[in-house]
Amino acid sequence: MALYPKLILDALDQVRYPGTGKSLIEMGMVEDDMKIDGEKVSFSLIFEKPNDPFIKSVVKAAEATIEAMVGEPVQIKGNISVKAKQAPKPEPEKHLSSVKNIIAISSGKGGVGKSTVSANLAVALAAAGYKVGLLDADVFGPSVPKMFNLEDARPYLENIDGRELIIPAEKYGVKTLSVGFFIAPGTATVWRGSMAGNALKQLIGDAHWGELDYFLIDLPPGTSDIHLTVMQTIAITGAIVVSTPQEVALADAIKGIDMFRNEKVNVPILGLVENMAWFTPAELPENKYYIFGKDGVKNLSQQMDVPLLAQIPIVQSICEGGDSGKPVALNTESITGMAFAELAANVIKATEERNNNQPASQKIKMKK
């Protein structure tokens, strides 16, 4: 008489699991991988845990019952494999679920004032009455602590709903976190890409950002795996690309625009910001000196069909504000303060258009 699966299954239906008193068949412990090769029978038993205390006794009982009930020469000893039941994969955690708009601020190259724009935009949005968060994702060159005069800040952990979460530092109405808070000033961050990515994931997912209208992410310059990590971790509402008017910066800005439009990233671009658009001396506020070229980003916005959100002039107060930890946007009566207020207004408008499924377009008008 040939061996066949039902003979074996009928025998296993008589074997009880000591923990419940139910048969192995009732509990679904027999894997659907049975093989019969002549007199040799092999299959797997599935247990809830890899260290189940009844594994040995159940396997021995299964071997003995099959030998007794089949009534044919059967090779079963040593042929029963043991597996632990795999826990279902948890659904991806919804990071920043209480944040309405997440905006990535990027630049094709360093030195164009991206972090200055990020910090002042955050302050301008907060001054307009919005709840704002700012993540300094420039892991290898964090500057937000200095710009907010928070170099001595050391965020702490607090137990919230059973989780130990990082509490962001807060100043000028802006909640901020930066890798710079966790390393000594003047210390280089010598990390591989994976380490930097994990650090950012922690600052995003293991921090208590709370309810925010705008969450700004100051990305590192260029295009890298850190950008991909951020884009894959959270749903970005839109991106802002910062550049100066000079040709070498514009060439890199084009690459930055292409990165967000790449199908692997596919993040809408809210617009461009032309930083250092012209120099205006404090004593001659009506004068404009185009030391880096004129309207380079403005022209690029037309070529790339991307809105121009603002043109930010150079004045001494921008440098002084960044060094002293008082963003120039705090002074709403200054030339640059008004420029950042205009930027904030245009970002709000572009975001609303994006959320209403109406792409931000060249309809955004610059204030005279």
> Which pTM does this prediction carry?
0.68
pLDDT (0 to 100) of residue 367:
40
**CATH code, domain carrying 124:** 3.40.50.300
Are 164 and 214 contained in the same domain? yes
Domain coverage including residue 310: 99-355
Are 49 and 110 contained in the same domain? no
7 domain residue, yes or no: no
pLDDT (0 to 100) of residue 89:
40
- Alpha-carbon distance of 42 to 177, in angstroms, equals 56
Cα angle 139, 140, 143; round to 5: 75
Are 155 and 271 contained in the same domain? yes
335 domain residue, yes or no: yes
Helix axes 296-304, 247-261, angle to 10 degrees: 30
8 domain residue, yes or no: no
Are 310 and 261 contained in the same domain? yes
3-state SS assignment for residue 32:
coil
Position with higher pLDDT, 75 vs 319: 75
Number of domains in the chain: 2
Q: Is the pLDDT of residue 252 over 90?
A: no
3-state SS assignment for residue 82:
strand
Give the largest Cα separation in the chain, rounded.
Answer: 107
**Sign of torsion, CA 291 295 299 300?**
positive
- Of the three residues 84, 110, 127, the one that is the final residue of a domain is 84
Q: What is the pLDDT of residues 81-138, one digit of tens each?
A: 998 876 544 343 457 889 999 999 998 778 888 999 999 999 999 999 999 999 998 8
User: Mean pLDDT of all residues in the chain?
Assistant: 85
357-363, long-range: CB within 8 Å, 24+ apart, which pairs? 359/268, 360/238, 360/268, 360/270, 360/271, 360/307, 361/307, 362/301, 362/302, 362/305, 362/307, 362/308
- Alpha-carbon distance of 137 to 293, in angstroms, equals 29
Hey, how many other C-beta atoms are within 10 angstroms of the C-beta on 30?
21
Are 60 and 180 contained in the same domain? no
Are 54 and 107 contained in the same domain? no
pLDDT (0 to 100) of residue 92:
39
Are 163 and 255 contained in the same domain? yes
1 domain residue, yes or no: no
- Alpha-carbon distance of 116 to 144, in angstroms, equals 9
Q: What is the pLDDT of residues 14-49, one digit of tens each?
A: 999 998 899 999 999 999 889 988 889 999 999 988
Helix axes 316-324, 114-127, angle to 10 degrees: 80
Are 189 and 274 contained in the same domain? yes
Are 113 and 49 contained in the same domain? no
Are 257 and 161 contained in the same domain? yes
Are 75 and 222 contained in the same domain? no
Strand order in the sheet with 80-84: 35-37, 40-47, 80-84
62 domain residue, yes or no: yes
Are 66 and 114 contained in the same domain? no
pLDDT (0 to 100) of residue 308:
94
- Of the three residues 84, 113, 130, the one that is the final residue of a domain is 84
Pairing of strands 163-166, 157-160: antiparallel
Q: What is the pLDDT of residues 200-224, one digit of tens each?
A: 888 888 899 999 999 999 988 876 6
